Each structure stands twice: as C-alpha cells, then as structure tokens.
C-alpha cells in the first residue's frame, strides 16, 4: 500500500463551470505541469472516488482528491527549521494549507545557516510541531519591517502562492512614517539596481537596474512627518525603502537608507490581500499596528 504524504480534497463550488480536469488543475488551480504530470501518470487524482483522464469533464459539486508521495515536489520535506519551544506567534489567519502571521520588527524571516534559531520560520515550525504539517517559506520581508507574512503548511501550494504573488493577485499594503511633508498621491516608476558604492545597498538607476513601480497615498502629513500607504506593483529588493529615500522622504528609522535617523524603522505590512488556493476566494487580512508605531503616530499628530 502506498504511503501518501499529502492528501488534499476539494469539492467544486455550485457555480463551477464544466471544464476538463486538466483545465481545472492547470488554469484554475494553477498547479505546475510537474505536479499534474505525476497526478496523471501515477493516477493520483480522483474525481468522486474514481480516476479519470485529464481530458474528461468535471463540474459543480464534484469532489476532487489529490495524493502526493513527496517526490513530486522539489521540496518534499519542510526545511530543517529548529522549532521554537512555545513560540509567541501572532497568527492572523490559518486554514489547511497556509498561515498568515504578523512578523515583529527586528526578527528575521528565515535562518541564514543550518541550526539558526529565533527567526519567524523557527516560530512557525514550533507552532506546527506535533502536527503533520511543515513550515514552507513563500516570501519574506526585511528584518526591520513588521507585518503580514504568508507561510505554507505543505509544499503543494507553494508554487500556487508564488504564481499568485508574481501576478499581483496576492499583495500587501504597507504603512510607513517618512521624513518631511508628503501630501500627494501617485506612482513612482524608478528602476532599481545595485549601489556601485556599496553592493549591500540598492539605488535608483543603479547597476543592472530593473523596472520597479510603487503606488503611494498620503494618509496624513505635517511639516515634520507623513504617514504614507504604499503598494508594490513589482517586488525589487528594498523597493519601498529605495523609492521613498529617492523621493526625498526616507522612512523614519531606516538604518540603510536614512542612517541619520536613529529611531526604529516605521514600515509595516498592514494589510494582506490573500487568494486562497483551490477555492481562489479573496480575503483581506489586517495586521494590527505595533504599539510603538501607534505611539509615534500620536506623538507626531498623524493618528
């Protein structure tokens, strides 16, 4: 008897239009060709309890089951994160396949070497300890940035989530407190590349610059500080930090792009637009502002 590592069951919604099983898996559910190949050749996909070919139709109310041994995916086991004992993890949303958690400022998203502890992924591994789920990184945010982060609980949904992020279907909205008075709304489309003076930094029109687009909206402003809502249309390294610094309004406390500001960085991923794999339903998940952020808004009359 085959020992399946993952068994995912989905019932198609009442509004599901009839289509081929292949169309459902590839175009609607966004499964990569590699997974579909194994589901087909190993007959590891059942519709209403029976294997059918990829060209046969599925329709509203059908039950689709997918079975995975582990070798079908490129990361069959979760990375070997040392689980945090009794982690203090702020879970914003959880279902069978994923978590959305609120990462605090100053915590790494993931370890940089085997055995490292104290990162967000260590905390998720500790939270999931004792279950059949693992911690699979989907995306990351900077060390000094707080806010919503998606973590997969199985590797099947990782490529699906990556596809939804790359197309912009899944995205975060950020809040930042910046230097000076920024009162308008708009779009920055400055390309970002490596800073030739320091390869740890990035800059507008730097080496090997790539297109980068940021949308911004001024929520509140005075002569000293502004509260700005930000949305990424692209995902370049340090994009928000570089664009804001180039605009003349660097983020308060940014240790790299505003080093004269010795306060903690005030950049927070405050809202996650999440698309749930398989159902493809959209949720808007809020990540509460940390107390220090709220206190700063009150101090500078931006709340």
Q: Which residue bears the tokens 């790359």?
A: 166
The one-character DSSP state at 145 is -
- Give the residue from 62, 69, 73, 72 showing the smallest Cα distance to 20: 62
Catalytic option among 142, 184, 195, 254: 142
Q: List phi, psi (to 5°) of 63.
A: -100, 125
The DSSP annotation for 195-245 comes to ETTEEEEEEET-EEEE---EEEEEEEE-SSEEEEEEEESS--TTHHHHHHH
Degrees, nearest 5: CA angle 288-152-96: 90
Task: State how far the alpha carbon of 104 is from the alpha carbons of 138, 232, 284, in Å.
Answer: 17, 20, 20
Contacting residues for 85 by C-beta, under 8 A, at least 6 apart: 126
Contacting residues for 114 by C-beta, under 8 A, at least 6 apart: 80
- Determine whether 71 is an active site residue: no
Q: Is 86 left (phi over 0), alpha (psi -120 to 50) or beta?
A: left
- Give the residue from 271, 278, 285 showing the smallest Cα distance to 96: 278
Alpha-carbon span 254 to 248, nearest angstrom: 13
Alpha-carbon span 296 to 265, nearest angstrom: 11
Contacting residues for 28 by C-beta, under 8 A, at least 6 apart: 19, 280
**Tokens found for residue 254:** 């940014």
Task: Provide the annotated active-site residues.
Answer: 142
């Amino acid at each position: 008897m085959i020992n399946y590592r993952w068994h995912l069951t989905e019932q198609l919604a009442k509004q599901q239009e009839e289509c081929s099983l292949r169309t459902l898996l590839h175009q609607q559910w966004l499964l990569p060709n590699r997974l579909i190949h194994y589901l087909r050749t190993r007959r590891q996909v059942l519709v209403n309890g029976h294997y059918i070919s990829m060209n046969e139709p599925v329709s509203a109310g059908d039950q689709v089951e997918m079975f995975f041994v582990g070798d079908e995916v490129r990361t069959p086991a979760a990375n070997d994160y040392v689980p945090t004992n009794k982690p203090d993890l702020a879970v914003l949303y959880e279902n069978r396949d994923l978590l959305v958690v609120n990462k605090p400022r100053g915590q790494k998203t993931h370890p940089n070497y085997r055995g490292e502890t104290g990162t967000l992924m260590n905390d998720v591994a500790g939270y999931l300890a004792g279950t059949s789920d693992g911690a699979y990184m989907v995306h990351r945010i900077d060390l000094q940035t707080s806010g919503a982060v998606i973590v997969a609980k199985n590797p099947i949904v990782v490529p699906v989530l990556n596809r939804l992020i790359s197309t912009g279907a899944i995205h975060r909205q950020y809040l930042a407190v910046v230097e000076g008075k920024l009162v308008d709304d708009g779009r920055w489309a400055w390309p970002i590349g490596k800073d030739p003076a320091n390869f740890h930094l990035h800059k507008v029109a730097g080496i090997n610059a790539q297109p980068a687009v940021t949308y911004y909206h001024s929520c509140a402003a005075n002569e000293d500080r502004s509260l700005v809502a930000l949305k990424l249309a692209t995902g370049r390294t340090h994009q928000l930090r570089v664009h804001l610094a180039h605009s003349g309004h660097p983020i308060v406390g940014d240790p790299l792009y505003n080093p004269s500001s010795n306060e903690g960085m005030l950049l927070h991923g405050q809202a996650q637009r999440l698309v749930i794999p398989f159902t493809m339903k959209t949720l808007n998940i809020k990540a509460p502002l940390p107390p220090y952020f709220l206190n700063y808004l009150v101090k500078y009359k931006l709340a």
